[in-house]
């Protein structure tokens, strides 16, 4: 979805954050991180669906800090002109301070700690959700990643700072981010004692399907709100 250049190295809130589905004060915070060439208005559309699973959660979908350098419109967390593992890790590390500042400010605004935080992202947003969930010292309650890559997977043993339960969902017909990224991420997370749930989606291209939303809802219900069951 088209976006606009906002402010270099500064993450801005989406114009339409969503209050808790249950109508009360926020007891949890779900941050939705968009993909390359989109903006925060893209994933905030998931809030009404995921909010049914986490009715006491506020939802916010920030805008990435840079204008996309691979499209005439939209935003990016970092450049993907080069897509080697080293370049992706460096990009995620470079984008981390701005995103961390945003997360800290949003948690403080709601009077919440990182144990009430869920990071959910799609594509490049999934890369950022995975990276920050595993490397923020305070961690997060859980991470949900759709169609992403785990930055720095080979170095994870020496860089990991937290081990939040992590959901990986990826279409096996994805022409943008190779489907093999799911197994690579699962292997690295398993090797570093991160609780991981992974599900390839048959026939799914680069996107989020109904099953992917359902899985994320169940994950939020279990690990963010602490409610067991479907």
Where in the sequence numbering do the catalytic residues fall?
123, 174, 206
Measured CA to CA in angstroms, residue 118 lies from 68, 159, 166, 222 at distances of 25, 20, 10, 11
Candidates 43, 42, 50; CA nearest to 21 is 50
Does residue 71 contact residue 91 with C-beta atoms inside 8 Å? no
The Cα 126–Cα 147 span in angstroms is 7
Candidates 157, 155, 154, 132; CA nearest to 143 is 132
Specify burial of residue 40 (Cβ count, 10 A radius: 0-12, 13-18, 19+): buried
Does residue 200 contact residue 167 with C-beta atoms inside 8 Å? no
**CB-based contacts of 226, cutoff 8 Å, min separation 6:** none
Candidates 47, 143, 62; CA nearest to 103 is 62
> DSSP characters for 175-195?
SSS-THHHHHHHHHHHHTT--
Does residue 41 contact residue 1 with C-beta atoms inside 8 Å? yes
């Amino acid at each position: 979805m088209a976006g606009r250049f906002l402010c270099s190295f500064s993450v801005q809130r989406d114009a339409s954050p969503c209050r808790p589905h249950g109508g009360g004060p926020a007891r949890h915070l779900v941050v939705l991180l968009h993909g390359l060439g989109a903006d925060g208005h893209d994933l905030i559309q998931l809030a009404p669906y995921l909010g049914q699973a986490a009715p006491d959660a506020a939802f916010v979908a920030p805008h990435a800090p840079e204008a996309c350098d691979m499209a005439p419109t939209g935003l990016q967390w970092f450049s993907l002109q080069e897509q080697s593992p080293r370049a992706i890790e460096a990009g995620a590390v470079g984008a981390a301070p701005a995103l961390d500042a945003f997360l800290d400010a949003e948690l403080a605004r709601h009077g919440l700690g990182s144990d009430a935080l869920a990071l959910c992202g799609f594509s490049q947003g999934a890369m950022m959700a995975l990276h920050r969930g595993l490397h923020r010292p305070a961690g997060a309650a859980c991470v949900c990643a759709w169609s992403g890559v785990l930055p720095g997977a080979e170095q994870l043993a020496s860089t990991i700072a937290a081990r939040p339960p992590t959901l990986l969902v990826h279409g096996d017909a994805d022409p943008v981010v190779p489907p093999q990224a799911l197994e690579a991420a699962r292997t690295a997370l398993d090797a570093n004692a991160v609780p991981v749930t992974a599900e390839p989606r048959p026939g799914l291209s680069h996107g989020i399907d109904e099953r992917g939303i359902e899985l994320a809802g169940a994950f939020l219900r279990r690990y963010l709100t602490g409610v067991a069951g479907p």
